[in-house]
Amino acid sequence: MDFSLTEEERQTRDWVRTFVQREIQPLEQQALRRERAGEPGVTTEEFAALRSKARHSGFWGIQTPEEYGGMGLSAVMTALIEVELGRSFVPFRFGGSADNILFHANEDQQKQYLVPTIEGERISCFAITEPGAGSDATAIKTTARKDGSDWIIKGEKTFITGGNEADFSMVFAITDPDKGVQGGVTCFLVDRDMGWKSEYIDTMGEWGPAALIFDDVRVPDRNVLGEVGEGFTLAMQWIGRGRYLLPARALGACERLVEMAIEHARNRVTFGEPIAERQAIQWMIADSAVEIEALRWLALSAAWQVDRGLDSRQAQSMAKLFGGVKANEIVDRMMQIHGGMGYTRELPIERWYRELRLLRIYEGTDEIQRRTIARNLLKGHVSVRGALG
């Protein structure tokens, strides 16, 4: 086995690492001050300026196919980039991307939705989660009834990432209750000016999801994405698009947090010597280093399977579960090493503490990942011997 990076992978990773250090991390203290004042940590204009700098260097559309102006990078390379971006709590992402299911758009829809989204001219959101349908996507209640050549959508979506900023949404609604989710759910491209509204949901982190309200919103038939009744298949394709990227980003945060703790332990002196000499501190650092290395290979292994067209669902669920649990344990240890200072808002540790907690909930809770992993094993779909077994 060859675990080394190619020269191209190494150069790409190093460019992103430098970009994060020079352009993103210097914004952190300002972001913390703004957030304490109840303001956005980084403004829309500042994000746009960062993306412009990146695009000038050729970083646009990390996974977008080259025929659409993107880089078309592999899953492994994308995971490596996410690790580097995760080394800052500033939620920066390179521009030029669109949700994978938007590529199912027909020619007219691509001109109106896909291409402008890739170019950064439009913002989309994915709306399937509802107040009574979180991890169980089959329980959605939002309906769409036919009215002439239009559809009338009625219902509510919740915890929608980007829902407050989006100018159009990919909305999943029941179009044929008799067929159930397989054949009875359709995806619609719905512009905000068609009448839906969003409401901000306040959370313990700085991430601000939205509730979307559809009160008899009229949508033309030409705005059906894909085929009528095939929405649930599209939804599952979106949900499984890149779960490995979440633990990859958490991995970057864990690396940075442990580095901060190591520096602090070397400099913090109690009872005449640095706390780095205390066995309790050493063990927390050692355990965290082992878990970081395990997470690295879980995430990269899942990405490797994606690149090879293998069924990566088990590997992605394992990486997501392990990453969420261990990232929360690691940030807790690093706060403990920093003591009272770690608990203050002068350092970004408490910020990460709140942010990383979300990883165990969104895009599939820990419990859902365990259910998936166990079910696949018990039904014989996979083996504990792994993908190479």
> pLDDT digits over 161-197, tens only?
999 999 999 999 999 998 877 889 999 999 999 999 9
Q: What pLDDT is attached to residue 181?
A: 79
Residue 90: name the closest of 355, 358, 363 by CA: 355
Q: What pLDDT is attached to residue 104?
A: 92
Q: What pLDDT is attached to residue 65?
A: 93
Q: How many CA atoms lie within 13 A of 387 on its CB side?
A: 18
> Looking at residues 287-296, what average pLDDT do you find?
98
Q: What pLDDT is attached to residue 205?
A: 84
Q: What pLDDT is attached to residue 242?
A: 77
The tens digit of pLDDT for each residue in 191-227 reads 999 999 999 999 988 778 999 999 999 999 999 999 9
> Looking at residues 252-259, what average pLDDT do you find?
98
Number of residues written out for the chain: 389
Q: What pLDDT is attached to residue 208?
A: 82
Report pTM: 0.92
d(CA 158, CA 214): 11
The tens digit of pLDDT for each residue in 88-127 reads 999 999 999 998 899 999 999 999 999 999 998 999 999 9
Q: How many CA atoms lie within 13 A of 115 on its CB side?
A: 9
Q: What pLDDT is attached to residue 83?
A: 98
Q: Cβ atoms within 10 A of the Cβ of 30, count?
A: 13
Compute the radius of gyration of the chain from its Cα atoms: 22
Strand partners, 152: 145, 218
Q: Is the pLDDT of residue 323 over 80?
A: yes
For each of the domains in the chain, give its residue range(s) and CATH number, in order of start. 7-99 (1.10.540.10), 124-238 (2.40.110.10), 242-378 (1.20.140.10)
Residue 326 in contact with residue 231, Cβ under 8 Å?
no
Percentage of the chain lying above the pLDDT 70 cut: 98
**Selected residue with higher pLDDT from 25 and 241:** 25
Q: What pLDDT is attached to residue 119?
A: 93
d(CA 244, CA 76): 10
Residue 350: name the closest of 215, 260, 268 by CA: 260
Q: What pLDDT is attached to residue 287?
A: 98
Q: How, if at all, do strands 150-160 and 124-127 pair?
A: unpaired
Q: Is the pLDDT of residue 138 over 80?
A: no
Percentage of the chain lying above the pLDDT 90 cut: 84
Task: Give residue 293's pLDDT band: very low, low, confident or very high (50, 70, 90).
Answer: very high
Where is average pLDDT lowest: 53-57, 75-79, 121-125, 361-365?
361-365
b/e per residue, 354-363, with b = 16+ CB within 10 A?
Answer: ebbbbbbebb
> Looking at residues 287-294, what average pLDDT do you find?
98
Cα–Cα distances (Å) from 385 to 5, 202, 293, 322, 382, in that order, read 25, 43, 20, 18, 8
Residue 101: name the closest of 179, 169, 195 by CA: 169
Q: Is the pLDDT of residue 388 over 70?
A: no
Q: What pLDDT is attached to residue 389?
A: 65
The tens digit of pLDDT for each residue in 268-283 reads 999 999 999 999 999 9
> Looking at residues 31-53, what average pLDDT do you find?
92
Q: Which of the residues are catalytic?
A: 363
Q: What pLDDT is attached to residue 64?
A: 94
Where is average pLDDT lowest: 52-66, 131-145, 365-379?
131-145
Mean predicted lDDT score pLDDT of the chain: 93
